[in-house]
Amino acid sequence: MLPNHRLVGRVFLFIGIVLVTWSVLSTFGAGRNQTSAADARLVDGLAAWQQVYSVLTSPRCINCHTATNYPQQGDDRHRHFANVIRGPAGKGVPGLNCASCHQETNADSTGVPGGHNWHLAPLSMRWQDSSDQPLASAAVCRALTDRAKNNGLDAPALLKHNETEPLVLWAWNPGRRPDGTMRTLPAISHSEFVAATRVWVEAGTPCPPGK
């Protein structure tokens, strides 16, 4: 038999070891949980970005995000007819402005699409290379999140832009072609596009690796 005071001491030592071990393990576990949550948010954000990218590179959007001095038209993204050019402000030139044909709304009887402030995106927001091929997902993402290129939009402003900008909304209401058929829409709905943008923004606007 051990004397009483030695027994009490060993009991306290045992309890102390248990408490320290529990504390260390619980702290380690919480860190792992936090890391897992951050990883999951990043994965979700990148997946959401790919949905956003699918819209940005649809013909309804990318036809006016060219790297050249002219817009494109049609699902085959051919050069805009009638010798239309970009002009200094992305709105054509005097005598041949975007507004020479494109009005505030679609003109379904003549097949000319329209929306408020119809214009080309600035060259800093080009989503194509000089051969008219869409830039890779990472490159578009980097451009879109660069406030030196995106007209100073922070992440909440990017979300608002995708929610409310008239020319963004036009992509889901593109009107009829001159032959009377409907123009095609982006692959996902506008509400899905906004939801994906929100997930991407809340994840910190992550961009995929690569060029």
Q: Least distance in Å: CB of 166 to other proteins?
A: 15
Both structure tokens of 72 = 């494109």
- Tracing tokens 């830039």 back to the chain, one arrives at 135
Q: Which residues bind other proteins (CB under 8 A)?
A: 81-85, 87, 93-97, 99-101, 103-105, 107-112, 114, 178
28-63 burial, b at 16+ Cβ within 10 Å, e below that, comes to eeeeeeeeeeeeeeeebbbebbebbbbbbbbbbbbb
Least Å distance, CB 87 to other proteins, is 8
Q: Smaller CB distance to other proteins: residue 112 or 155?
A: 112
Return the number of the residue (91 or 160) whose C-beta is nearest other proteins. 91
Q: Which is nearer to other proteins, 19 or 85 (CB)?
A: 85
Percent helix / strand / coil, the chain, rounded to 5: 45, 5, 45
Q: What DSSP designation does 199 have?
A: H
Cβ 89 to other proteins shortest distance, Å: 12
The pair of structure tokens assigned to 35 is: 């890391």
Identify which of residues 27 and 110 has a Cβ nearer to other proteins in the complex: 110
Report the nearest approach of other proteins to the CB of residue 169 (Å).
Answer: 18
